Structure 1
Amino acid sequence: MTDSVNLRAVVLDILMEINEKGEFSHLLINNALTKYQYLDKNKRAFISRLSLGTIENRIELDYIIDQYSKTPVRKMKPLIRNICEMSVYQIIYMDNIPDSAVCNEAVKLATKRGFTGLKGFVNGVLRNIARNKDNISYPDRNKDIEQYLSVKYSMPLWIVKMWHSQLGIDMTEEILAGFKQEKKTYIRCNTAKATVEEIKKILSQESVSVAEVEGIQYALEIKDYDYIAGLKSFRDGLYQIQDISSMTAGYMTGFKAGDTVIDVCAAPGGKSINAAISVGADGKVYSRDVSDYKAGLIEENVLRLGLNNIEVQVKDALVMDESMREKADVVIADLPCSGLGVMGRKPDIRYNITEDKLVSLKELQQSILSVVQAYVKQGGIMMYSTCTINSEENEANADWLCKEYGFKKIEYRQILPGKNGGTDGFFVAKLRRE
């Protein structure tokens, strides 16, 4: 294969699928990177950055375009709108690309996709923005800070208002800035196969940069690798990719050797794997999810890591399993949620979630908790967690579980991107059945 791939055309196709058809950004981008794995690392990085950056900053990009276009963004043809958005992202955020090249490539794309009649429009708008990029005006921070933050950080206004109400404006801005921080890659070492020091040595031999993580002895931060599946250490099952915020949930649990653990919504299996390594050969983990597809994702990781104390099951968490009533030392309930904490990695979430969905998700979470709480034995632990930042889905649900089913709060922890740079937002509630 050759490298004669139009990278911007690849990105345009990704954006059209996400913005016009509602596909998931992380899946499409991962599929594209896998398809073009033969390309140079820098070219793959360009695809990833331009795709994610354009999606993440769409509200700001549209705000800028509307200042310099006679046709509002909302009235543009979808393909032209996506070309303009990805081009303005390059002009504003990618200093290493000449503005002239951005404009020329945008015109070529419009022409190749059958919009020759609009190439002058595209060229005019983009060159106008390029000439004025140092003088773009934003909403007045002093007059309407919520509107300012919404545009500056490309976050829907209703989410900004919600966080302002729940957390205050300073914390809200810290979260928004946290999403824009460089994302880090963390691994949970498979200490059932090798020690952390042995895994560090092997990674170093593979020319991977490794750093320890304060507070969690089995976690490492890695960087400077080409792609994870290309590493023999990964294929040999020496570790599992898991964000440090998610790993914290397992660390807080305090698994004991020999524990029986039920992970009720487990795919792709990170928390189940963490539990299995922690409880040892005498322990047992039942790793469950609702479909064969999701169970397959878990199984794939379990087989790669060579863990024999995990049983993967297709089970609907909403359906009571009487055989497991009061059998678990620990129930892991990392439930479906709004995902507001992972918008740094999945930026399209912000455009797809609604206030109505938040209400229905809270109801779903309570429905699942009302079933799976029965699996916790007396004195056992319920670990309720979400990857969101919303007190109604988090603290309110944990409080509800304590009130309705006789659990006692041990610890709540809300991890915020701005407070823990390079990680996701995550909530964990550790509860004990009295």
Structure 2
Amino acid sequence: MAGEINERRIAYDILAEMGKSDSYHKSVIKLALNKYDYLEAKQKSFIKYLAGGVIERQITLDYVISQFSKTPIKKMAKPILYILRMGVYQILYMDSVPDSAAVNEAVKLTQKLHFIGLKGFVNAVLRNVSRKKDEIAWPDPGESVESRIKYLSVKYSQPEWIAKLFLDEFGFKKTTEIFAFFLKTRPITVRFSSRFTADELRPILAKMKNANNGHIEMRPSSLLQYAMDLYHTDNIRYLPGFEEGAFMVQDISSMLVTEIAALRKGDTVIDVCAAPGGKSLHAADVLKDTGKVISRDISENKCILIRENVERMGYKNVVVEDYDAEKHDKSLEGKADVLYCDLPCSGLGVIGRKPDIKMNTDMTAVLELQKTQRNILSSVWNYVKPGGTLIYSTCTLTTQENEDNYRWILENLPFFAVDIEDRLPGKMKEIQTAGAGYVRIIPGEYGTDGFFIAKFKRKVL
């Protein structure tokens, strides 16, 4: 049965589905791979790599196509554009695929999709790319802001507004480093549950090493002793230990929220925007079945995802509730020892894991998100007990959503900032703003996603 499957057609279907929906690309890819779960790992890897790579490199691919096509991108039929993007991606970035195969399979797919009259066009464009790929006229970074924006946008496949934003914020050298990190193949980082003793984990880890035909690679985190990076995984759900609740997928930067919170046994933690539940479950793990974690999100679907993780991980001190954080809940006033406000944001710190983000937001959306963030903060701040802790965090890098909101909290709410330097692991202690009560983690600087975390205490009046 698997032999009848055309992996390129599946990748095409993923791109076509994304073209008509707002679904996050990994969800679409995940659904497709679940549907074809009987395929061999090599086939699923090809589909994931091709579909994900086209999404990630879309701006670069369109730049190249434009150099070899007399028909402008905007006037192409969407199916033909998807096929050309797939073909160019294989030619430029998939060394395991011969150029001839990339071209021939693209032509076959064009015919299967009933665009027989455009077979010659697809063939001509891709053959030209193959012949002249070493002669592509890439933008020169030059010295001007405009030329550097164009260079960064095309080379690293970032929208020009993000290239300008990062260039203004970090300078040219650091921006190139961040953008290069976004394009790197990343491991899956997991956090192991403290519910398992070292003796209980040992056989699970031994089985994990033999997963994916023994190709999986496991590297302990240099920052947190309970975290590990996994390379060459197939489906994380099939790894030994997953169903038993031995680990949770979570980036180090996200784990730092609970590290910085410094929870104590018996604490009540309220997480107002919790899905998929990583921070809530980390809090529950640290509390060791004491206290209470109230884990909330705006929709029932998101809460179902949290509940699935709570059940799998086996925590008994977590209550999951469907609730809109922008609506004040009087029953929670003064109940939280620690309040997690990991709020909806533009997500520019995690583009490496969610490349579709860069194509689905802009500065107008950033300003709207800042408004939403402040509405939520205004609604929930007094859930914190006098003397209690507020943790504000995002997975983005914009000043508007981070430092500006940090200052807004200090100026408008009864809180003061708390020094967090002693809560940061390893070299992260060197981050200068830790003493001011917040940390902005630059993507790749410590091998993690980009993140912002600020810690406050509620004043006792």
Could you say whether these structures have the same fold, taking a TM-score greater than 0.5 normalized by the shorter chain as the test?
Answer: yes
The residue aligned with 1:164 is: 167
Task: Give how far 1:190 is off.
Answer: 1.2
The residue aligned with 1:223 is: 231
8 A contact 1:290–1:315 mirrored in 2:
yes
Task: Give how far 1:199 is off.
Answer: 2.1
The residue aligned with 2:110 is: 110
Task: Give how far 1:200 is off.
Answer: 4.6
8 A contact 1:330–1:382 mirrored in 2:
yes
Within 2, Cα distance between the matches of 1:197 and 1:362?
Answer: 46
Aligned AA (2:442): L
Is 1:54 the counterpart of 2:84? The answer is: no
The residue aligned with 1:313 is: 321
The residue aligned with 1:150 is: 153
The residue aligned with 1:26 is: 26
8 A contact 1:203–1:210 mirrored in 2:
no
8 A contact 1:50–1:86 mirrored in 2:
yes
Task: Give how far 1:97 is off.
Answer: 0.7
Aligned AA (2:49): R
Within 1, Cα distance between the matches of 2:301 and 2:182?
Answer: 30
Superimposed CA distance per residue, residues 292-334 of structure 1 (whole angstroms, 9 cap, x where no aligned partner): 1111111111011111000111111111111211211110111
TM-score, L = length of structure 2: 0.91
Is 1:388 the counterpart of 2:396? The answer is: yes
Superimposed CA distance per residue, residues 366-401 of structure 1 (whole angstroms, 9 cap, x where no aligned partner): 000111111111221111111111111011111101
TM-score, L = length of structure 1: 0.96
Residue of structure 1 aligned with 2:446, choices 420, 423, 429: 420
Q: Percent identity?
A: 46
Is 1:63 the counterpart of 2:66? The answer is: no
Aligned AA (1:319): K
8 A contact 1:204–1:210 mirrored in 2:
no
Within 1, Cα distance between the matches of 2:319 and 2:21?
Answer: 36
1:22/1:215 CA distance change after superposition, 3 Å: closer
Residue of structure 1 aligned with 2:384, choices 364, 376, 388: 376
Task: Give how far 1:420 is off.
Answer: 2.7
Task: Give how far 1:22 is off.
Answer: 3.5
8 A contact 1:216–1:251 mirrored in 2:
no
The residue aligned with 1:195 is: 197
Aligned AA (2:444): G
Aligned AA (2:171): G
- Paired residue secondary structure (1:169): helix
Residue of structure 2 aligned with 1:214, choices 214, 222, 234: 222
Task: Give how far 1:172 is off.
Answer: 1.5
Within 2, Cα distance between the matches of 1:229 and 1:382?
Answer: 33
8 A contact 1:328–1:376 mirrored in 2:
yes
Long gaps (5+) in structure 2: 212-216, 419-436
The residue aligned with 2:187 is: 184
Aligned AA (2:108): K
Task: Give how far 1:2 is off.
Answer: 3.0
Is 1:304 the counterpart of 2:307? The answer is: no
- Paired residue secondary structure (1:329): strand
8 A contact 2:204–2:240 mirrored in 1:
no
Is 1:332 the counterpart of 2:331? The answer is: no
RMSD in angstroms over aligned alpha carbons?
Answer: 1.4
Within 2, Cα distance between the matches of 1:96 and 1:241?
Answer: 30
- Paired residue secondary structure (1:368): helix
Task: Give how far 1:56 is off.
Answer: 0.8
Q: Once structures 1 and 2 are overlaid, which stretch shifts more, 409-418 or 97-106?
A: 409-418
Within 2, Cα distance between the matches of 1:132 and 1:222?
Answer: 38
Residue of structure 2 aligned with 1:347, choices 355, 359, 362: 355
Within 1, Cα distance between the matches of 2:118 and 2:199?
Answer: 59
8 A contact 2:207–2:240 mirrored in 1:
no
Within 2, Cα distance between the matches of 1:26 and 1:191?
Answer: 29
Within 2, Cα distance between the matches of 1:264 and 1:197?
Answer: 35
Within 2, Cα distance between the matches of 1:298 and 1:196?
Answer: 26
Q: Once structures 1 and 2 are overlaid, which stretch shifts more, 236-245 or 165-174?
A: 165-174
Aligned AA (1:106): A
Is 1:429 the counterpart of 2:454? The answer is: yes
Q: Once structures 1 and 2 are overlaid, which stretch shifts more, 150-159 or 342-351?
A: 342-351
Residue of structure 1 aligned with 2:242, choices 234, 241, 245: 234
Task: Give how far 1:197 is off.
Answer: 6.1
- Paired residue secondary structure (1:370): helix
- Paired residue secondary structure (2:4): coil
Within 2, Cα distance between the matches of 1:31 and 1:98?
Answer: 28
Within 2, Cα distance between the matches of 1:433 and 1:43?
Answer: 54
Task: Give how far 1:280 is off.
Answer: 2.1
- Paired residue secondary structure (2:229): strand
